[in-house]
Structure 1
Amino acid sequence: RVDIQADLEEADFYLQQGLLEEAQQVCQRLTATHPDHSGVLQLKEQIVQRRETSGGQAVADVEFDSLTQTTEAAVELDLGDIGFPVAETSPVESFDFHNSTSDIENSIDELHVEITTELGPELADSQRGVVTVITDDDTESSYNLGIAYKEMGLLDDAIAEFDKAINSPSRKLDCISLKAACYVDQRKFDEAEGVLTSGLSDSSLTIKDQVLLYYETGLLYEAWHRYADALSSYQVVADNDPQFRNVTVKVGELKDLVDDNAIISETSRVSYL
C-alpha cells in the first residue's frame, strides 16, 4: 500500500532542494495510483510552476524519443495501398541495429515547440482538477498542453490533448508524430503504427508531409526490428526526395542488412538438408 503522505513529503523535500527530476519521479508514481488525490494534483502544479520559473523553457525541441524496445507483431503496414511504390524485400531475423537510437532521437528536428505565456494558467487549472474549457478554435492550447504533459511523462493525458488539436491543419502533422511518439514511449508499437498508417491514408497530406511520415515509419520499423518493412518505408522516401535527411544512407545500410540476413537464413536452411 502506497503511503501517500510520506511520498508527498518526499516530493516536497526534493522541490525545496531544487531536485525537480526526483520530485517528478515521485509525482509520476503517485499519479499512477492516486490520479485524483488533491495532494497529487497540487504537487503537479508545483512542479510545473518550478519548471516555468527555473530559467528554462518548459519545452525545448521536440524529438521523436528513442525507440529502443523490441516486440513481435503480425500487423503489417500495406504501403502499396497508399499509392507509393514498395520495394520487395524478404523477412529478416532480429538484429541489433546500433545506429538507430541516435538517428531516432534526431528524427523530428524540424518540429520546434514554444509554450506560450498563456499556457501557465491553463495548465495550473488542469492540474488542480479545474475543467478548462477549450473551444474548437483554441487547438493551440490543447497542443501546448499535450507537449507539457508529454514532457512530464503523463502520456495518456498528452495523447488526449493531441487528439483535440489534431483537427487543426497547422498542427495535424505535429500531432500525428507526437501521438505516435507517446505510444512508442509506452512500448505500444502497434498503436504507434496505427497512428502513422492513419496519417498516411489522409489524402489531404502533401507529398512533403507523406515523406516525413514515411521516414518516421521507417524509424519505427527499424527500432521494432522489422528491417524489411523499414527498408520499404525508406525507399519510398528516397524515391520522392533522395536528399531528405540521411535516407540514402539508411537505404544502403538496410539493403546490406536485409541481404546479409537473407543469406544467413538460406545457409541455415540448406544446412539441415
Structure 2
Amino acid sequence: MSSKKDKLIAEAQRYALRGQLDKAVKAYEQVVALDPSAINQRQRLAELLVKAGRIDNARNEFEEIGKYYTTNGYYLKAIAVYKKLQVMFPGDMDITLKLAELNEKHGLAANALAEYKQVYDYHEKNGNSDAALSVLEKMHAVDQQNVGIMLKLAEAYCQAGNRDESYDIFSRLATLLQERGDSAGLGRLNSRIQQLFPEKNGFMLDVLAGQVRGDAASTLGAVGALQTMLKSTPDDRRIWELVIEAYQRLDQPERVRIAYQHCIRFFSDEVSVQKGLLECLIAEKDLQEAISLLDRYEQNFIDKDALGDLRDIYRSLELVDPINMRVILGLKRTLTALGDGEGAAALNHKIDSLQTFSDSHAAVRTTDAAAGGMQPGVPSAESDGADQELELSLGEPETVGMEPSAAEPVAFDFSEPPELEVEIEIDEDSGPFAALSPDAAVPGVAEEAWLEAVEDVFDAAAGSERSVKFGSEVEITDAQSHYDLGVAFKEMGLFDEALNEFRQAADDPLRRVACLVLQGTCLREKGALEAAETVLRDLLRGELAVEDSCSVKYELALVCEAAGKSEEAASLLAEIDVAQPGFRDVRSRLDASGNKLSLDFSDEDLRGFDL
C-alpha cells in the first residue's frame, strides 16, 4: 500500500507535467515537511520554485541541500548546488566564498583559486582592503608555491603596514625563484626588496641561509649560489659561514676543512675560524698539522679571551693522543689560566709518569717549561726567537697544509659528489614573473608601474594551473574529482560548468573517451547540436573499443534525432544493436521508430512461430 509520501510525490509529478506549478510546489512542500531528508524531492521543489519565479524561496531550498551535502562530506554535490546558486545570484560573494572553500576541501586547487579570485576582486574594487588581504591569505594557503599570489600577498602586507610578514613572504618567494633557477626574476625581486627594505642589506644571504637549513636538495642549491657570491665578494665572512654550515649539514667533513682553509686566508685572526679548522684536523686525526697550527693560533686565543675554546681544543687533542707531552702541558697551562687549579693538578701525575720515560735532556726541557707557568704563545721551552716568529705568523695569511690550488679562493671547488645530487624538475610557472619590466623595480621608476606589473602577474597566476614534478612522481590535477564534479554539474543543468570539468578530466587517457562523450551530451542538452555532432564524429574516426564505439554512436544518434536526422539516428542504433545486443535502450528505441534495419530476429524471438 502506498504511503502518504509516495502519493504526494505522484500527485506533484502529475501537476508538474500539466504545468500546474503552484500545485506541484505545494505537494512537494508537503513531501519535504514529512521527510526533511528527502534531498531529491527537495531539489525538485527548488527547481520548480525557480520555474515559478519564486527565486528567494528556491535559494532557501538549495542552501538546505548544500548544507546537507557539505555536512555529510559530499563535497562535489555541494559544489554543484552552490554553483547553481552562484548562477542565480552572481553578485553574492558569500556564495562564491563558500564555493571556494568547498573546492579547497576537495583538493580542486585551480577551481578554488578561481573562486577566491572573484571574491578578492570584489573586495579590492570596493576598497575593502582588510577583506581582500584575508582572501589573499586563503589563496596562498591553497597554493604556497604560486609565484603570482606570493608576490601580490607580499605587496599587500607591505601596504597594510605588516612589514615583517611582507619581508617573510618576499624571502620565501626569493627562495622559490632561486630553487627554480630564475635569476632574472630573482634580480628584479632583489631590487624591489632594496626599495621597500633598505635596512635589509643582507636579503639574499637571508634567503640562502633559509635554503641551507632546508633539505639536502635545498642545501645543494644554496651552495651553488654561495659560490657565485664568493667570486665577487670573497671577503664576506657570512658567506663563508653559510658555505661551511652547508657542508656540515651535508656531512662532508673534507669539504668543511677545505672551506675553513680558504676562509682563514681572509679572516686569519678570527678565533672561530681558527677553532673550526683545528677541529676539522682533529676529527681527521691529523695531530701533527693540528699542533703545528695551534702553535700559531694559541696566542690569539689568549688575546681574544677565548681560553674556554682553547681548553676544548686541547681536550680534543688529548683524546686523539693521550700521551703527547706537548698537548698535556698546553692543557695544564690553559686550565691554570682559567683558574681550574684542581684540573691542572690532576694532570701532574700523568706528566710525571711520562717524564719517567723521557731522556734526561727532554726531562730538563719539560721541567723548565712547567716551571715557567702560563707563557702566552709558548708551546715549549724554545728561544725568544721562536716567540717572535709566532707573533709574526699570526699576522700573515694561513698557508700551512694548503694545496697549491687553494691559494686562490675563487677557484674553490663547490661541485657536489654525484651521490648527493637530487634531481628536481619543476614546471615553470614563474614565467609570468618575466612580465615585470627589468626597470620596474629600479629606484626612480614610478611605483605604479611596478604595482601594475604585479597585478598582471597575479591575474595570470591565480587563473592558471600549476604542476610540480619531483623526479618521476607528478602531482597532477585530480581527474576523478573533475569527472565527478562534471557529472554533478550536468545533473544540476549547469552544462557550461560541466563542459569545463570534463575538458580537464579528459587529460587522463583512461577517461578521455568518456569525457568527450559527456561533452557531446552537454552540448546536445544546451542546444549546440552542430558542435556536439562535430565532437562525436571526430571521436569516431579513431580506433575505439566496442563498448566505447557504441557509447559514441548512441550519443550521436540522440544528437541526430534532435537535429531531425531520424534515418541516420536509426541507422546508428541498428549498428549498435548488431555490435552489442542489449546495449542500453537501443532495442526499445528501434522498436519505437519502426526502423526496418532492426528486424533481425533472434532464435528466441522466432520461437513459437510455425516456420
Normalised by the length of structure 2, the TM-score is: 0.25
Please say if 1:155 is aligned against 2:495. yes
- Of 28, 31, 35, the residue aligned with 2:87 is 28
For the pair 1:180 / 2:520, whether they are aligned, the reply is yes
Matched, 1:18 2:6: no
Tell me the SS of whatever aligns to 2:510: coil
Report the 3-state secondary structure (helix = DSSP H, G, I; strand = E; otherwise coil) of the residue aligned with 1:202. coil
Say if 2:186 is the partner of 1:127.
Answer: no
1:192 partnered with 2:532: yes
- Match of 1:179, as an amino acid? Q
Given candidates 95, 107, 110, the residue that maps to 1:43 is 95
Residue pair 1:119, 1:145 contacting (<8 A) in 2 also: no
Amino acid at match of 1:200: L
1:159-179 CA-partner distances (Å, limit 9, x unpaired)? 233223323221112211221
Q: 1:231 touches 1:255 (CA, 8 Å); kept in 2?
A: no
* 2:586 aligned to which of 234, 247, 256: 247
Identify the structure with the greater helix proportion. 2
Distance in 2 separating the partners of 1:16 and 1:152: 11
Distance of 1:154 and 1:219 partners within structure 2: 20
Contact map agreement 2:84 2:492 (CA 8 A) in 1 = no
Q: What is the alpha-carbon distance in structure 1 between the residues aligned to residue 116 and residue 58 of structure 2? A: 17
* Deviation, structure 1 residue 121: 5.8
Give distance in 1, aligned partners of 2:562 and 2:116: 38
Q: Is the 8 A contact 1:179 1:192 kept in 2?
A: yes
Provide the rounded CA distance (Å) in 2 between the counterparts of 1:143 and 1:25: 18
Which residue identity lines up with residue 588 of structure 2 in the other structure?
V
SS in 1 for 2:64: coil
Tell me how far apart the structure 1 counterparts of residues 110 and 582 of structure 2 sit (CA, whole Å).
41
Structure 2 stretches lacking a partner, 5+ long = 1-55, 67-79, 118-461, 468-473, 598-611
> Which residue, 208, 218, 225 being the options, matches 2:557?
218
The separation in 2 between residues aligned to 1:126 and 1:202, in whole angstroms, is 34
Compared CA separation, residues 219 and 127, structure 1 to 2 (3 A): same
Percent pairwise identity: 22
Cα pair distance change 1:150/1:238, threshold 3 Å: closer
Rg larger in structure: 2
- The residue that corresponds to 1:208 in the other structure is 547
Residue 511 of structure 2 is aligned to residue 171 of structure 1: yes
Specify the alignment match of 1:73 in structure 2.
none
Q: How far apart are the structure 2 equivalents of 1:187 and 1:173?
A: 21
- 2:106 aligned to 118, 129, 146, which one? 118
Distance 1:12 1:238 in 2: 43
The 8 Å contact of residues 524 and 532 in structure 2, kept in 1 or not, is answered as yes
Residue by residue, what CA displacement relative to the aligned partner does 1:124-163 show, whole Å, maximum 9, x if unpaired? 3332234362549435154345345445544333323322
Q: For the residues of structure 2 that align with 1:151 and 1:190, how far apart are their CA atoms?
A: 22
1:3-152 aligned at under 5 Å gives the runs 14=60, 18=64, 27-31=86-90, 39-40=92-93, 42-46=94-98, 118-119=106-107, 123-129=111-117, 130-131=462-463, 133-135=465-467, 137-138=476-477, 140=479, 141-151=481-491
Q: Partners in 2 of 1:194 and 1:185 — Cα distance?
A: 15
Paired letter, 1:227 = S
Q: Please tell me whether the aligned partners of residues 11 and 23 of structure 1 are also in contact (alpha carbons under 8 angstroms).
A: no
Kindly provide the amino acid, as one letter, of the partner of residue 190 in structure 1: E
Unpaired runs of 5+ residues, structure 1, are 1-9, 32-36, 53-114, 259-273
8 A contact 2:557–2:568 mirrored in 1 = yes
Deviates more, 1:163-172 or 1:18-27: 18-27
Instruction: For residue 208 of structure 1, report the CA deviation from its aligned partner.
Output: 1.9
Distance 1:206 1:257 in 2: 27
Q: 1:190-214 deviations in whole A, cap 9, x for unaligned?
A: 11111111111122x2122101211
Compute the TM-score of the two structures, normalised by the length of structure 1.
Answer: 0.51
Pairwise CA distance, 1:245 = 2.5
Q: 1:119 to 1:11 in 2, by over 3 A?
A: farther
